[in-house]
Amino acid sequence: MPVQYKQKCFRCKKNYVTASYRNKYVMCHECQKGELQGEIKDPEMKKFFDIPEEFYEKNSFLRDIKANYLRYENLSERQIEAFKETVEKMKEAKKKESKDKK
């Protein structure tokens, strides 16, 4: 796992955001929510971004990718791959978590 930094959201300066690299402009889910509301027309991309809302809440990288897509309607191969990988990891972690609880 990469090093995780806890930083204050640059907009509200109130909530903490976990980021995997230092970034002056990380936003918390509360503040970024508005940017993630746009409509996705491409059905394939719609499916691609159809992941549990809590993943977006927990991960600023996933939020950034979605916000980027909504702004430019375009993602690079690398962004798509990284997004998928992150989602997979989070799914795995979630599975493990629920197993540990039992």
Using CB under 5 A as the criterion, which residues of the chain lie in contact with Zn ion when the complex forms?
9, 11-12, 15, 28, 31
Amino acid at site 11: R
Amino acid at site 68: N
Least Cβ distance, residue 65 to Zn ion (angstroms): 18
Tokens linked to 25: 């402009």
15 vs 79, which CB is nearer to Zn ion? Answer: 15
Tokens linked to 54: 């809590």
Least Cβ distance, residue 50 to Zn ion (angstroms): 25
Least Cβ distance, residue 13 to Zn ion (angstroms): 7
31 vs 51, which CB is nearer to Zn ion? Answer: 31
16 vs 21, which CB is nearer to Zn ion? Answer: 16
Tokens linked to 3: 């090093």
Amino acid at site 28: C
Contacts of 94 (CB under 8 A, 6+ apart): none
